[in-house]
Structure 1
Amino acid sequence: MRILYKNLYLNRNYEDLLGQDEDFEDPNTSSKKFSQIIQNIANKQNQIAIFQTLVNKYNDEAHYYGHLGRFLYETAITAKEFEDAETEILNALDFGEKDYNLWHLKGMCNRRKIEYLIREYEYLSENNEVEDIIKELSNIAQEAFAKSREYNEHNLHSHTSEIQMLNKVINFGKQISTYQSSQDFLLDKNNSWYENKVSDIFNLLDEAQYVIDLSRDVEQSRVISKSTSMIEASEGTFFSVLGNFTKAINKFKRLSELGDRQSRPFYGKMYVYSTLASKVGNDPRKLKEGWKKLSDFEFQTLKTTLERSIREQPENPHSYKLLIQAMRHSNVYFGFEQALGPVKTWYDNSLNFEMSHLEALYYRYVLHACKAIDEGESFGDFDVTEAKKYINECKQKSTNDKYSFEWYGNGKGIKKMVNHGELGSMKNDKGFFEKVEKLGEVQGTISNIFDRQSGKIILECGLETFFVPARGGFEKGKDEGVTKVKFYVGFRYNGLTAWEVTRINSIKPVYVESEKFEIEGFDQDIEEVESIADIIESDKEIIKIENLERPKLKGLTLINTIDISQFDKYKKKK
């Protein structure tokens, strides 16, 4: 009977959708706020009676209380109904304290109450207190959404719900103020609470995008597409609330330098974003392109601003990400060490923030691996050792070992690191990216083939990468230890992965140890020749001949005889 009741009264589209963001239903389904039978009843008191009956019958099950509370706040038209909804949700949490869906419901209940107060603001008799009430409800809701993410860090609905709530709250604060623009409103030092909420949105957008990346898998394209749409819609609303903030660039810059210490990091981020937005027509989707359009002076100023924000607020991951983004997308060259410094600081200051720490850990491993591959055999093994150490740490903490977020490219310095988003989509016929021109080929030797689907390649630098032998026709016992290959390298959270692995014909360079040598016929000194390959045209194939067998002759055949005594010079002396 319990299953029958759930299917009839609780489930929507044949599943329990408790805790989803009601503002982002899947357009490919006919999602509704309630089950079909509840909607057909169409009488609110009778609908409540059904939920109440289920609660009374199963009074020790959290989700029945949760569904009653959700129905009450989704249909509430009075403050009393919101209070009743919160009571039922608190009852649910008594039975399911660690249920992320129930914490999401608590956040949504407060969000709906905020929306109710905003709608009714003009009609409330004591509306001078409404702003403070909304601020308090926002803080309570944020705590609940954060608790939901604590129990399920991949719950994107808590990100989008919180961002949309804060968008509405910030817009409401501006509307009831005397300011005409969002920029002037946020620049007022008396509105520091709203400044903090803008910072919260930036961090939520960052975290949400990271959650999407962690969830990536070639088999999850539909789910990822929906999640990405949710975040993009939230981000678009956010920048719409901010308005054309490029008009306030100079004000943001001044306050990032001269404002109070607590607010400077916020104004620094606003200065960076407004400057980038001014280069791309205030289009938030193209902000990364803005880095290439900066003058040298503008770039150095933004870089200095981000470095100052990191010093003043080292626990906030947003400034680190912006700084790495600047290094990757600007026209300025940055070596690996210049990126490893801030990433280490990020790593050291994120120990208490699991998701942020994992991201910093991943980029420590990737940067050391890229540096080791780039240097090959010519340098020591420090970067190889560091990369292996952080790979092992990543393996223990990662939840996604199936997707390569970063790839080894053909750029210089930190631009050797290429994000998956720059490579286009996967080709169905090849199962690989469309835009391979940004990738750099790597060489190594097959070391082990465990079976058709699993093998290892040793790179020239000493790092090890996984590959699938069947895709290249490689065989156990034949190719191990001898076959040299070339391939592309992707960086998964559990280590390196080789793609498009093919055989190569090459010989190991022979090095001349003496400083100089002489060649007959030449008087001048000849500089050291590093390898045979240096004196042979690079496009000619070198064939190594080994174990050449001596041809076997058939033997001698007597044709005729000659008397040599007739020749004096052959006569023996007596």
Structure 2
Amino acid sequence: MTPEELQVLLRRAEGECHDYKTKLHDTSTPKGKADLVIDVISMANTPREEDAHIVFGVKDQGNGQFDFLGVGSVPDDADWQQLLASAIEPTPRFSLEPIQLDETLYAVLTIARDRRGPFHVRREWRNKLNEHLGPATLVHGVTYYRRGSSNAVATGDTLRWIVQWMNGGSPEPLRGDNAPLEDAWERFLERVQRFSDARRFVLVAPRIEASGLATLRGLTAPPWSAVVDLDPLSEQGGLIGELEREMTLVRSLYRVLPSDETMALGGRNASQWIFAKGLTTGSEPPTPLTFRKWSAQYGRDLSRHLAQLAASLHPAPVTCLILGYDTSEIQILHSLLGDLAGSSGEALDVVIATDEASAYEQVAGPFEADVIPISLQQLCAGLARLEPEKSASDGPQRTLPSVSGAPVMLDAVDAPWIEEELEVLYLDPPSEESDDDSRDFLQGSEISWYALSRRADVDRSKTTSLHAKVARELDRGGRPVRVNLYHTSGAGGTTVARRVLWDLHYLYPCAILLGNPSAQHVGNKWAEDNAERIMRLGHVTQRRVLVLAESSRVPERLLSDLYDSLQNRQVSAVVLQVQRRAISAIDDQRVVQLPSFLLDQEADRFLEEYTRARPDRSLELRRIRHSGNQRERVPFHFGLAAYGRDFRGLDRYVMTRLDGLESAHREVLQHIALAHHYGQKGMPSQLFAEMLQVPATRPVSLAALLPDQVLDLLVQEEPGVWRMAHALFAEAVLSQLLSAGLQTTSQWKAGLADAAISFARLCHSGVGVVGDTELDLIERIFIYRDSRELMGTEQAASRSFSQLIEDISLPNSAVRLLQQLTLLFPSESHLHAHLARYQAVRMHDLARAKSSIDRALDLSNSDSVVYHMKGMIHRQEVYDLMDRKSTLGPVVRSAEVASEAFSTSRELRRDNEHGYISEVQMLLRLADYARQQVDGNNRPVFTYTGEYLVDTALEKSEDLLAQVAQLRTAEQPSKFAVKCRAQLDELYGNHEEAVQRYRSLLGRADVDSPSVRRSLVWVYLKKAGGQWHGLKPKDMQTIETLLQVNLREQSGDDRTMRLWIRAARHVSNPPSVDELIGQFSTWHLDNPSLESSYYLYVLHVLKYFDSSSPVARGEAERYMEECRRRAQYRTDRTKSFEWLGSGVGIGGLVHQSRLGEWDSNRNFFRHATLLSRVEGRVGQYVGPTKGWIDVNGLPVFYVPGRPGHQRRSAHHRVTCVVGFSYEGLRGWEVRDV
């Protein structure tokens, strides 16, 4: 056998005629001899078309991955020939050969295709081993053969099959009804690849009566990504009723109805339980559905869910197991498989387990499914044995530090849900590693907790500073805060952050966000669910929680949503954000910038540590320490010099590993390098299946398929996901591969556009839906800038783009790339919007930009980001017209289109500040431009132009900024809001002059008087420093008059109503609550919105508290539910904007802005004395993070863990302050009476 032939063998999985052994059999012992004999007999007896092989020196990890260990030496073939000739009759033909491959020695035992059998152990030879072997081991007269990847005893039909083959029969394995039943279980395991973790598994099940099957719980053993349940009565004696409790101890289980909009996809160990026929409530059986009725009622929704599921699982191979124990479901099974196959493409593998094989041939044929004849009882019994029995001492104890100092244990029911999205640092000692495993960190792998516990890392100068800042914020308590660690790629930011986390996890609960590519499908739900998880950790431990959020795992957009959710829930947490930034930041109270290279003292420490470990590499290590090239002075370079094979400089090290590579291997390396360099992400090896000629249904093992010298450049960051060992490698690989044929490697970016298009084509599978993992890669590489999406923010107008786009020097090449992306992924609206942004900002081609953004809106007309981008493109047209000194009319027409787009963006995402600020910026510039157009250099800006958008620009800007202020309640305004406020104040000029100017406009018939009156209100409010309670009585009376006139003229105007609800509580003779309810009911009738629903529920609650009227209570509950429904997707839905004060009527309403800043000592707002304490009783206790207080019959949500309540606290009397949130009443500062 040649080394090339061995390389081909090493790409094969174990099976009937192919096996791997870590070590050679020890033929000096009886057991070693017996093991060798039974292995050879089993291979020789197995019917096959080719020679069989056993390769020694390879460890099969069982998940499609292999360790290539090699052997120290190979026995003489003659010795084994003599041994096996004495032990087996007749003696099979075989050979034992040593093969050297990539400097590693292997032994290959080849058993020829020999039909002189069956082969058996000789009686006399076996008798000599009786003292050493049990009677059931290697029995004389028994025929052994290979069943899958194991040795087995042949009986019945299997034995007849072997004998027939020995006599010239077919080697084809027995299938379907002809297959021997004793082989069914082993065949089943082989077909599902023993539930390898390199695959994903979906179960499709009909109605199964749990009462008749004691072993049904065996179905909980496999790692199901989804269960498609065809039983509408599954809760009542069916699968979920029997299995749910046990499954939720190891997996997060989500119930999904066909009508649900989304699923909680992509989390670690999460399972979707999809009820394909809905769920029936009650004991009456549902009316049977024909296939046509089922398809009409559920088909479209199920198809959508299965497409989402396939996208979340891609590119991993998927095995769909069908429990074929109800032939009435065959048509539905065919439909479901059609949907799955259409979404998953060639990656789908179908297995049907049934006791009626012939009935499922119709289903099996089109999907190339394997039908395994096995009873449900036997199947479940076999599955039950897959999971070994575990005692309470097995596995992690999941202990965490608590406020008392005593460790507390995380509830076993909560753990799978929390660990779905968070890696929690428990007090349990980390798993021990060998010295080789610990050294992996020094060679590019992510540092492990065990290595941190052994202090395998080298201290960095900024670690102490970061630790001190994080610890200070943890000690302070109170509202959530962010601490930012900025670093350049490859500077070691992840290691520094994890060192801080490890050192603090003994005192505080600590967790890491895992990241989830499928989070894009669930809106704000990902952020809200993770805020709940973090809150749960805080309440279990009664300590502030430290959360590590790495932008390489979680995009900044999702991190911002998470932070908003933490703020709205007042979760006591510190978020340590590790973000890559190309431009250095200045350290401040909550910011640390890690240098891109090692400082002198740091370099000295690295030199000392690595020289101690590898004194033989001291010269190379000293060269790096004293190198004048700062880019060489990074931690990884020291590790490479110490442990890299034949290291003589980085460029040369990479070059020697690229020389002589096959084109497919070079392409794999190029794609991985591009993903790492521009996206800071690893790549799933499964994406390379076609390139490396591996069937789509088989896991791709790069460790087995790539040469050793290539593996020197790579690390496997998680099973099946590979990246370059360091950012330096990624850039070096790209520069050397892309500069082929060019004069110097420095010109490598000339070929970047073509390389990027090739990468995009790889991510486009060509069949079914595009996977969430691939889309995440595309967005990070082509859209994000330093892990941030600029679209949907003010920076969308900047000239900044992703680093890859920036590195393409020719704009036409960049446009070609972006256009190609929209062709490859035509249904992805953000790619069309990103193309539109480039066409507008870089190419100044507004016509094409408008066409591209309109295409994006055709694809996604409910995406606030895309509408915001449309507003930005038309705003760019406004600015271009201004720069060209165009007349006011065309400028206003474009501004009106932009304003409408911004308005729609706000309607879709009211809790996003950018939709407000972007329009304010445009309005202020428009107002200033109009002043210059009409009045030249005169200062007043209130000149009437006849253009409504211009004449109301300042008043509308005030209204928008007021809404922004409400969004950021108790927080500092953003820098954008501060700048807009300053520009607006400058445009007003002197307050008295502004009042006179607006009053002079009120007398004119050709102006919009309601807008002028609102402008006057804003000017008066500005005189009082923006504080309603600071207004002079005379000015307050004037405001009341102005707003009352507006209410008579335009009773349903949004901007007037927002001003009136703030002003009404401060006038000398406030309106009654009934008057306000009447006014707001008219507003709601004309313009039903979240705000009108909110204030109607607030006013009816006030009326109910004052009167105990059951009608008022009913109306309060009705509008509360309507408000809750309208706010269901907002991250601020739990934030209280109004509070119950001590006044009467509307005077008993206190706006959030009056409560002042958050007092971390009190853990509540500073001016809480403005609020009224009400009495109630603890009603329902759900857990430490959820409960309700009954206040006069209305439920008030509160967090029982804050006052230390437990289940026994039910019905206790308490007092609390009450806030009005979109979700309902919320109780704060709860105290026992």
Q: Common fold, TM-score beyond 0.5?
A: yes
**Partner Cα distance (1:208, 1:381) in 2:** 36
**Partner Cα distance (1:384, 1:99) in 2:** 36
**Partner Cα distance (1:118, 1:346) in 2:** 37
1:316-336 residue CA offsets vs partner (Å, 9 max, x unmatched):
211122222223345665653
Secondary structure of the 2:935 match is coil
Other-structure match for 2:1141: 409
1:256-296 residue CA offsets vs partner (Å, 9 max, x unmatched):
3x33386110111122222333x34xxxxx2224x534234
2:1111 is aligned with 1:386: no
**Partner Cα distance (2:1030, 2:1079) in 1:** 21
**Partner Cα distance (1:333, 1:143) in 2:** 36
Other-structure match for 1:165: 922
Other-structure match for 1:312: 1049
Secondary structure of the 1:259 match is coil
Other-structure match for 2:811: 44
State the number of aligned residues.
457
Secondary structure of the 1:13 match is coil
Give the aligned residue type for 2:1091: E
**Partner Cα distance (1:38, 1:332) in 2:** 62
Give the aligned residue type for 1:120: R
Other-structure match for 2:864: 100
**Partner Cα distance (1:496, 1:304) in 2:** 33
Is the contact made by 2:1001 and 2:1007 (CA closer than 8 Å) also made in structure 1?
no
**Partner Cα distance (2:1098, 2:920) in 1:** 31
2:1037 is aligned with 1:300: yes
Q: Aligned in 2, Cα 1:188/1:72: closer, same or farther, shift over 3 Å?
A: same
Runs (4+) off by over 6 Å: none
2:1058 is aligned with 1:321: yes
Other-structure match for 2:785: 12
Consecutive unaligned residues of structure 1, counting only runs of 5 or more, are 26-31, 122-126, 281-285, 352-356, 505-574
2:1217 is aligned with 1:488: yes
Of 800, 814, 823, which residue of structure 2 is paired with 1:33? Answer: 800
Give the aligned residue type for 1:458: D
Give 1:161 deviation, angstroms.
Answer: 1.8
Give the aligned residue type for 1:176: Q
Kindly report which structure 2 residues correspond to 1:490-505, keeping only aligned pairs within 5 A, or say none.
490-504=1219-1233
Q: Aligned in 2, Cα 1:427/1:116: closer, same or farther, shift over 3 Å?
A: same
Other-structure match for 1:435: 1167
**Partner Cα distance (1:11, 1:450) in 2:** 41
Is the contact made by 2:1141 and 2:1170 (CA closer than 8 Å) also made in structure 1?
yes
Kindly report which structure 2 residues correspond to 1:66-145, keeping only aligned pairs within 5 A, or say none.
66-76=833-843, 81-121=845-885, 127=886, 130-145=887-902
**Partner Cα distance (1:118, 1:144) in 2:** 20
Is the contact made by 1:261 and 1:312 (CA closer than 8 Å) also made in structure 2?
no
Kindly report which structure 2 residues correspond to 1:317-396, keeping only aligned pairs within 5 A, or say none.
317-329=1054-1066, 335-351=1072-1088, 357-374=1089-1106, 380-396=1109-1125
2:1003 is aligned with 1:247: no
Give the aligned residue type for 1:304: T
Structure with more of its chain in strand, by fraction: 2
**Partner Cα distance (2:1125, 2:918) in 1:** 31
**Partner Cα distance (1:61, 1:450) in 2:** 41
**Partner Cα distance (1:255, 1:247) in 2:** 13
Consecutive unaligned residues of structure 2, counting only runs of 5 or more, are 1-758, 761-773
Give the aligned residue type for 1:8: I
Other-structure match for 1:523: none
Is the contact made by 1:110 and 1:137 (CA closer than 8 Å) also made in structure 2?
yes
Q: Aligned in 2, Cα 1:255/1:387: closer, same or farther, shift over 3 Å?
A: same
**Partner Cα distance (2:861, 2:1177) in 1:** 53
Other-structure match for 2:1189: 457
Is the contact made by 1:292 and 1:331 (CA closer than 8 Å) also made in structure 2?
no
Percent identical = 26
Give 1:299 deviation, angstroms.
Answer: 2.7
Is the contact made by 1:424 and 1:434 (CA closer than 8 Å) also made in structure 2?
yes
Q: Aligned in 2, Cα 1:66/1:401: closer, same or farther, shift over 3 Å?
A: closer
Other-structure match for 2:581: none
Give 1:309 deviation, angstroms.
Answer: 0.8
Kindly report which structure 2 residues correspond to 1:230-245, keeping only aligned pairs within 5 A, or say none.
230-244=976-990
Secondary structure of the 2:1165 match is coil
1:18-42 residue CA offsets vs partner (Å, 9 max, x unmatched):
33321799xxxxxx71122332344
Is the contact made by 2:796 and 2:837 (CA closer than 8 Å) also made in structure 1?
no
**Partner Cα distance (1:499, 1:60) in 2:** 46
**Partner Cα distance (1:57, 1:99) in 2:** 21
**Partner Cα distance (1:463, 1:203) in 2:** 33
Of 996, 999, 1011, which residue of structure 2 is paired with 1:266? Answer: 1011
**Partner Cα distance (1:466, 1:167) in 2:** 42
Secondary structure of the 2:1026 match is helix
Q: Aligned in 2, Cα 1:421/1:445: closer, same or farther, shift over 3 Å?
A: same
Of 194, 197, 208, which residue of structure 1 is paired with 2:950? Answer: 194
**Partner Cα distance (2:1125, 2:834) in 1:** 37
Other-structure match for 2:1027: 288
Give 1:448 deviation, angstroms.
Answer: 4.1
Is the contact made by 1:131 and 1:173 (CA closer than 8 Å) also made in structure 2?
yes
**Partner Cα distance (1:276, 1:114) in 2:** 31
Give 1:502 deviation, angstroms.
Answer: 2.3
2:1161 is aligned with 1:397: no
Q: Aligned in 2, Cα 1:446/1:61: closer, same or farther, shift over 3 Å?
A: closer
**Partner Cα distance (2:826, 2:1127) in 1:** 38
**Partner Cα distance (1:338, 1:196) in 2:** 29
Is the contact made by 1:186 and 1:194 (CA closer than 8 Å) also made in structure 2?
no
Is the contact made by 1:369 and 1:387 (CA closer than 8 Å) also made in structure 2?
yes
Give the aligned residue type for 2:872: M
Other-structure match for 1:551: none
Secondary structure of the 1:405 match is strand
**Partner Cα distance (1:55, 1:395) in 2:** 37
Secondary structure of the 2:995 match is helix
Give 1:402 deviation, angstroms.
Answer: 2.2
Give 1:308 deviation, angstroms.
Answer: 0.8
- What value does the CA root-mean-square deviation take over the aligned residues? 3.3
**Partner Cα distance (1:443, 1:330) in 2:** 29
**Partner Cα distance (2:832, 2:779) in 1:** 13
Q: Aligned in 2, Cα 1:97/1:499: closer, same or farther, shift over 3 Å?
A: closer
Give the aligned residue type for 2:785: R
Give the aligned residue type for 2:851: T
Is the contact made by 1:24 and 1:230 (CA closer than 8 Å) also made in structure 2?
no
**Partner Cα distance (1:20, 1:115) in 2:** 17
**Partner Cα distance (1:156, 1:486) in 2:** 35
Give 1:246 deviation, angstroms.
Answer: 3.1
Secondary structure of the 2:982 match is helix
1:139-188 residue CA offsets vs partner (Å, 9 max, x unmatched):
222233334345444443232222212221221111121365564x5343
Give 1:450 deviation, angstroms.
Answer: 4.5
Give 1:386 deviation, angstroms.
Answer: 3.3
**Partner Cα distance (1:51, 1:192) in 2:** 38
TM, length-normalised to structure 1: 0.70
Q: Aligned in 2, Cα 1:180/1:313: closer, same or farther, shift over 3 Å?
A: farther
1:336-365 residue CA offsets vs partner (Å, 9 max, x unmatched):
3454443333333322xxxxx221222222
Secondary structure of the 2:1142 match is coil
**Partner Cα distance (1:269, 1:395) in 2:** 30
